[in-house]
Structure 1
Amino acid sequence: MQAGKNEQTTIGIIAHIDAGKTTTTEAILYKTGKIHKVGSVDDGTTEMDYLEEEKQRGITIVSAATTVYWKEEKINIIDTPGHIDFISEVKKSLTVIDGAVLVLCGTAGVQAQTETLYNLCLQDKIPLTFFINKMDRNTSSYDRAFNSLVESFGNYFIPLSLPIFNREEDFVGFYDILDKIYYIYESNNENNKKEPIKFLTFEELPSQYITLKDYNRYIHLFEEKLAEKDEELLEFYLQKNSLSGFEIGKLKRIIKEKTAKREIFPVICGSAIKSIGIDNLLDSIKNFLPKTNEVDYILYTPSDEEVINPNKKVGFIFKTIYDKQTGKLSLVRIYNGNFSKGDKIFNPRKNIWEKISHIYLLHADKKTEIDEAHNGDIIGIIGFKESETGDTILSDKSYLFMHKHFTTEPVINMSIETRFVKDVEPLISALDIISKEDNSFSYKQNKETGQIEISGMGELHLEVIQHRIKNDFKIETRLGNPSIAYRETITLSNSKEIEVSKIIKGVTNHFKLSLSLTSGEENKFIIKTTKIEEQYLSFFENFFSNTFLSGPTYGYPIANLEIILNDFIKFSNDVDILFLGETLKNLFFEIYQLSNPTLLEPVMKLDIIVDENHFSEVINDLNSKKVDIIEMKVLADNSKYKRIIVKGPVSRFFGYSTTLRNLTSGQGYFTMEFLNYEPSSKQI
């Protein structure tokens, strides 16, 4: 079996938790014929949430890939988690998509995670289509949801569909602004699903249906926003005072071009649970999000020079899964060329060749073996022994890398211990597997006491891992109280150059090293010199990668440090690698200590929703914690509730779920996300 070569795109479906993201994905699978029965999040029967923990909790925990076909176009879909504790899964997915659908709750509008996801897509320049979901709820408001987008992100949004209601104010369909067609959905007897009946008359809507009071305002907004973006459109609009009569094909091409440049964001409305508007959403994906062959991919040399669309096979490992039956499965996005079973692929970071033993098309946890995969495909590969998440794979021995920085630093630690002594070694093995799958999770064992400490993005994250250890590895464990996952960094920039010569086993080792350290937005290493031989390139890559794991001052992982190897000149024929490593380590430590190292602690942002009866108690508690209150406002959809946004060190929020539940008699809720690292008041 072979993967198809259809025109295709790769998208992510992203959302704040409970916006209906998984239900939207399920509706897309049903509409495209991938599945024949729609599952339910509440019943734990959705196709993409396949882990037992996901079914029990009713939330997405890991990203999952699948492929559908819509009107002869191949669409690779990555369904992602909505809970902030699993943001690492989202970041990994964002590195390999061409565009994204950001699902918005029609009742709540823009929420905390909506803002986080929008900003992540902004950083990676990912084109977006927005889907205002849950329009069937009587608490939903298209006006409020659309306005929240504009208020939060700016005036870049163009409505492509508007909701239609019956006289009882039930959501029954939508008006397609582009095609000027009303779509009304009527219930049939099978699972209460709905199929569209097209009313082709634009001038009149049947009298038993109504649309928005501001219908004309949205039509004008659509026309004006588009006219602003194109000279030909603007000239037509100024002459006609309308875009009616403008060639529809050309209009769609303009929307596609401006969406790709993120100058506009199309907005679709519907109800995933009622299957209303899903075909329109699929049309929007097909018509307006970029195709695989329209997106440039960039690789970098060790000296950080860009190489755009190199003519060779290129793939990127964005996720690793350890499957019980098949072992290590590497999830790969192919950026160029065809990958075939039996191919040998070069990993420049590891400086090794790997063999592709098996290739699979993926559908959640199901795999279909194929012989060959093509440009743009998302596939699973079995056979890689040493390649890991974040590695670039190439068809030739060249040292080019995709800079996909999606490492998510853990913010809390917990001790973990086994119920039985015999399970300690199996626990270490299990933690090692999980840490290779989840780059926001890490562990370490104290060599003297034997105590094991695990680190993750939040208490829920670590609880889920504990349950997985029990379910998948059959090991009973206990977790301790949370503690802070500190980091360290430098506050001054420094450089030093040294020249060393030493005789080892009768052979002279003579070389010069020049190294610089400076503060950055993330951990990064750059090799500036282009004179380094291949055998030393991978040594420096691996040395600098490992350097970030433990800082020389406090022993915590290093954050926000840029290491630059300015020069490496070899005067002797060869240099002993162990001696080079020892010299480089000593040089790094010396420069680091001269650069005014400081301790950092994670700062979190909380988005708290509380009813007016308990508002004062919550504010008083926050003030007692000495955290910064950023914003307070009444919820647009319910004036009895208020939104409070605060930030502060993570230590101030340990156990806040219990605190808020007690303060509000269970009426309040919150989301918490990592904001940044800031200097800690703790002295060590």
Structure 2
Amino acid sequence: MVIGILAHVDAGKTTLSEALLYKSNTIRNLGNVDKKNSYMDTDEVEKERGITIYSGQARLNLSNKEVYLLDTPGHVDFSMEMERAMSVMDYAILLIDGTKKVQSHTYTLWNLLEIYKIPTIIFVNKMDRDIADSGEIFKNIKNELSENIIDFENILSGNIENETEESLASFDELLMEEYFEKNSISKESITAAIKRRSLYPVLFGSALKLTGIDNIFKIIDEYFVEENINDKQKLKVFKISRDDKGKRLTHLKVVSGVVNVKDIIDESDEKISEIRIYSGEKYESVSSVKSGAVCELLGLKNSKVGNVYEDGKIIEVVTPVMDAFLCYKLIPVTKVNTLESFSILNQLAEENPLLKPRMINGEIFINTMGDIYLEILKRILEDKYEIEVEFGKGNVVYKETIKGSAIGVGHFEPLRHYAEIQLLIKEGEKNSGIIVNSEIPPDELSINYQKNVISYLKDNECKGVLTGSELTDVSVTLVSGKAHLKHTMGGDFREATIRAYRQGLMMAENVLLEPYYSFGIKIPLDMLGKTLNNLEEIYGKVKSPVINENEAVIEGIAPVITFMEYRKNFMAYTKGLGKILTKFHGYLECHNADEVIENMGYQPDDENFPTGSIFCKNGAGYYVPYNEVYEKMHLPFYGSKKEDDFSDYVVVKKENNEISIGEDEIKKIISGVGGQNKNQKKNTETKRKHTISKEDVDVEIKNEPTKIYEKTEKKKKEKCLLVDGYNFIHARDDLKIYLDDLNAARWKLIDILDNYYGYTKEKIVLVFDAYNVDNKEETINKINNVEVVYTKKGQTADSYIERFSTKYKNKYDIMVVTNDNLEGLIASGNNAKVVKVQDFSEILKSYS
């Protein structure tokens, strides 16, 4: 079981950790932050500054439960370290300073606990102080956090009054039903209600004086449920660090199953060389750990924060809720190699992903959540790597999104390469990030190729086309794709994906976003007018002020970049009489987008993120700009009828902007170095809009020649499924068991295809080899809804399928099911779709 401790800075969180460790006999002597000897804060900078920077862990010595305690940073600048630890918690203890009540960062913690669905108890600390009033604090928590809190001390002592049970019954329907039926509420029901976050126990005490600590242990013992799931192995990574010898540690929770030394993790076949269980700065090496444990693995080079593994394979990557919204330029003081510094920062970014180091025009930029983290980073670089740096003036981290939707087409066809895809890029919900999926059936594009596209979209950050900033709040759907049996190579779909993504953005209406604060301001009434004027000047949006006697309270939102300077002015003109409280609100449209875009001077024909595509003509690849890709694409345009060919769209007016690509540049493209004409420029004032209709294609590009597409009608062809019978039987485990009785295998396959016909009503032709059978003539029998063909003696199924697909290519829309590559190659040459048996089996599952 993993229990985390969370709090606003200086609420006494590390002191509570020390108290829990001491009272559980895990440590003999109490550590103290002021004396720099606390058990969990092991880093030198933590000891010097007296704050928690990194999440620390310890194992509590409890008689009947195995508990791993996570101590987390309380300062806002290190919130992402706290959130990473939160991702593996089973329960949380939220600490509140009894002398200060609910504070600004407490709201953030409470919201995250809700998002991660973590059962929580609240411990009100520093109750030994004279100014701490339990009644007032309880009322404050109830008003600010949740109605479903209850003073748990009477429940723990067994003195449950009717009034307490009535309060419990009001928290949710299950408790109410039990109370009405039995006139009481059992301990088991209270335990379940805590687990499902229907109630939050509140305890009072003093971590420094060790009061109230026993009640925390009582709740852990009696009301926290330990889940040992001995199912398949599932691991969740929440942290990457390095030990004092530089060895890479992967911190994770064993969600279920068991993990052992020598287990293979990830597709790269990395083996676990050692398993450690840390408690403070000490650790124990073990050969295996079971579900519920927090441990550190050595030997993994490619693990990342957020990775979720199931039986060694990545099944999910957890995206954090919080993100850094401030950006700073790193300025070297000592003479250092820029590339070496960049490499070091990328290594540090493994441990702290919010850094997101990037190099722009030879200069290094990093993200952060505040000035204190910059001081820590400066110290780390100096102490560990002997690199002395300063930081430039801070700016905000911009992001980009789109309005409406657009289709992105990416085509990659240098000589002897081929891939084409279409992506539907749509405006997403606020704070949704990037949502990726596919709606292509396996018979149109192999599952493996689809996985290549999806994994690239999920694993790689895409730049926007306005400023090169991170793209967010969009959904990206793979809607069409095409491969070539002979020429498609491993990296071709990666190249097509990059180009489709970027081309779609170029055709969309793009929006620049900036971070906003939400704020609360309390000022003397005579300063209200000036404050409202100032907020208007910094593009703030405010609610109607609330007047309380001689004070005014103003709530609203404002851009972070303007508010950063305003905070200093506010303190000056209010002469300390005003109070201001801020928290991160989210990303909204940029108030001065044109100015930012012009100043950043980003050109979307980015070397690593091209917007155009590569086509092939006369044995050579050539570059086609983004605004002409629609004309040359091979697949039907998404939204047109499936039987239409894009060649049916006639270009009435166009310009020739083809650019030949030489062999050297093709090699660069394939190796990921370059691959586009760097002189292609975009006017940043150009507004790109693409509207999609199911009956036509309408592309509007300002300041560029208008292209009008007219569509001719094409007669719809009947669909025909052509199956290589014995090839199918040998590829399916459930049919191979009948190989001793081929007649049974044939009938089983006929039954499968007849069921498919019931859903699709397609013509089905099933071909069986009679190569070694004494059949003088070819026979065709209609069995139920399947035409069963037995070839004549000396004829293979391959040759029959070749003959059929050639003869009927203009009559039928043919799909061939076979694992024979040569057979598939010949069939595709006759415009037939070719699908592997395994992929067709996936289609069959959708009909079963």
Question: Which secondary structure state, in structure 1, belongs to the residue aligned with residue 32 of structure 2?
Answer: coil
1:462 Cα deviation after fit:
2.2
1:265 Cα deviation after fit:
1.1
Q: 2:434 aligns with which of 523, 528, 535?
A: 523
1:218 Cα deviation after fit:
6.5
Determine if contact 2:406/2:507 at 8 Å carries over to the other structure.
Answer: yes
Which residue is equivalent to 2:175? 229
Paired with 1:227 and 1:550, the residues of 2 have a C-alpha distance of 48
Give 2:280's aligned amino acid.
Answer: A
1:144 Cα deviation after fit:
1.6
Which residue is equivalent to 1:142? 134
Which residue is equivalent to 1:401? 315
Give 2:232's aligned amino acid.
Answer: K
Which residue is equivalent to 1:356? 272
Which residue is equivalent to 1:125? 117
Give 1:111's aligned amino acid.
Answer: Q
Confirm whether residue 469 of structure 1 aligns to residue 381 of structure 2: yes
Confirm whether residue 325 of structure 1 aligns to residue 222 of structure 2: no
Determine if contact 2:538/2:559 at 8 Å carries over to the other structure.
Answer: no
Q: 2:264 aligns with which of 332, 335, 344?
A: 344
Which residue is equivalent to 1:278? 213
Question: Which secondary structure state, in structure 2, belongs to the residue aligned with residue 432 of structure 1?
Answer: helix
Paired with 1:657 and 1:464, the residues of 2 have a C-alpha distance of 24
Paired with 2:458 and 2:171, the residues of 1 have a C-alpha distance of 46
1:385 Cα deviation after fit:
1.4
Determine if contact 1:112/1:607 at 8 Å carries over to the other structure.
Answer: no
Which residue is equivalent to 1:193? none
After TM superposition, the structure 1 = structure 2 runs for residues 284-303 of structure 1, keeping only pairs within 5 Å, are 284-293=219-228
Question: Which secondary structure state, in structure 2, belongs to the residue aligned with residue 292 of structure 1?
Answer: coil
Which residue is equivalent to 1:110? 102
After TM superposition, the structure 1 = structure 2 runs for residues 519-598 of structure 1, keeping only pairs within 5 Å, are 519-520=428-429, 521-529=432-440, 531=442, 536=449, 539-545=452-458, 547-570=460-483, 572-573=485-486, 575-598=488-511
Paired with 2:207 and 2:531, the residues of 1 have a C-alpha distance of 35
Cα distance change, pair 647–549 in 1 and its aligned pair in 2 (3 A): same
Cα distance change, pair 10–519 in 1 and its aligned pair in 2 (3 A): same
Cα distance change, pair 608–251 in 1 and its aligned pair in 2 (3 A): farther
Which residue is equivalent to 1:195? none
Determine if contact 1:503/1:509 at 8 Å carries over to the other structure.
Answer: yes
Which residue is equivalent to 1:48? 40
Cα distance change, pair 489–233 in 1 and its aligned pair in 2 (3 A): same
Determine if contact 1:443/1:453 at 8 Å carries over to the other structure.
Answer: yes
1:623 Cα deviation after fit:
6.1
1:319 Cα deviation after fit:
1.0
Gaps of 5+ in 1: 1-8, 162-175, 182-201, 203-214, 238-242, 244-249, 295-308
Q: Which has the higher helix share?
A: 2
Which residue is equivalent to 2:842? none
Determine if contact 1:511/1:572 at 8 Å carries over to the other structure.
Answer: no
1:474 Cα deviation after fit:
2.3
Identical-residue share of aligned pairs (%): 25
Cα distance change, pair 528–267 in 1 and its aligned pair in 2 (3 A): farther
**TM-score normalised to structure 2 length:** 0.63
Which residue is equivalent to 1:377? 293
Question: Which secondary structure state, in structure 2, belongs to the residue aligned with residue 229 of structure 1?
Answer: helix
Cα distance change, pair 227–335 in 1 and its aligned pair in 2 (3 A): closer
Which residue is equivalent to 2:201? 266
Which residue is equivalent to 1:647? 557
Determine if contact 1:441/1:454 at 8 Å carries over to the other structure.
Answer: yes
Confirm whether residue 438 of structure 1 aligns to residue 384 of structure 2: no
Which residue is equivalent to 1:492? 404
Structure (1 or 2) with the larger CA radius of gyration: 2
Stretch of structure 1 that moved more, 16-25 or 425-434: 425-434
Give 2:493's aligned amino acid.
Answer: L
Q: 1:69 aligns with which of 38, 61, 67?
A: 61
Paired with 1:117 and 1:490, the residues of 2 have a C-alpha distance of 31
Gaps of 5+ in 2: 598-848
Which residue is equivalent to 2:326? 412
Stretch of structure 1 that moved more, 472-481 or 541-550: 541-550
Q: 1:17 aligns with which of 9, 15, 37?
A: 9
Confirm whether residue 177 of structure 1 aligns to residue 155 of structure 2: yes
Confirm whether residue 481 of structure 1 aligns to residue 410 of structure 2: no
Give 1:61's aligned amino acid.
Answer: I
Paired with 2:538 and 2:173, the residues of 1 have a C-alpha distance of 51
Paired with 1:65 and 1:412, the residues of 2 have a C-alpha distance of 29
Question: Which secondary structure state, in structure 1, belongs to the residue aligned with residue 47 of structure 2?
Answer: helix
Deviation string 1:50-86 (CA, Å, 9 cap, x unpaired) is 2233223322222122221324211112111112222
Give 1:334's aligned amino acid.
Answer: V
Which residue is equivalent to 2:147? 155
1:537 Cα deviation after fit:
5.9
> Over aligned residue pairs, what C-alpha RMSD do you find?
3.4
Determine if contact 2:307/2:317 at 8 Å carries over to the other structure.
Answer: no
Question: Which secondary structure state, in structure 1, belongs to the residue aligned with residue 353 of structure 2?
Answer: coil
Give 2:297's aligned amino acid.
Answer: I
1:464 Cα deviation after fit:
2.2
Cα distance change, pair 57–622 in 1 and its aligned pair in 2 (3 A): farther
Stretch of structure 1 that moved more, 522-531 or 91-100: 522-531
Q: Which has the higher contact order (CA 8 A, sep 6+)?
A: 1
Paired with 1:484 and 1:284, the residues of 2 have a C-alpha distance of 44
1:38 Cα deviation after fit:
1.5
Paired with 1:113 and 1:553, the residues of 2 have a C-alpha distance of 34
Determine if contact 1:513/1:568 at 8 Å carries over to the other structure.
Answer: yes
> Would you say how many aligned residue pairs link Structure 1 and Structure 2?
590
Paired with 1:234 and 1:123, the residues of 2 have a C-alpha distance of 32
Cα distance change, pair 355–156 in 1 and its aligned pair in 2 (3 A): same
1:538 Cα deviation after fit:
5.8
Deviation string 1:365-397 (CA, Å, 9 cap, x unpaired) is 433211111111111111011221122223255
Which residue is equivalent to 2:255? 335
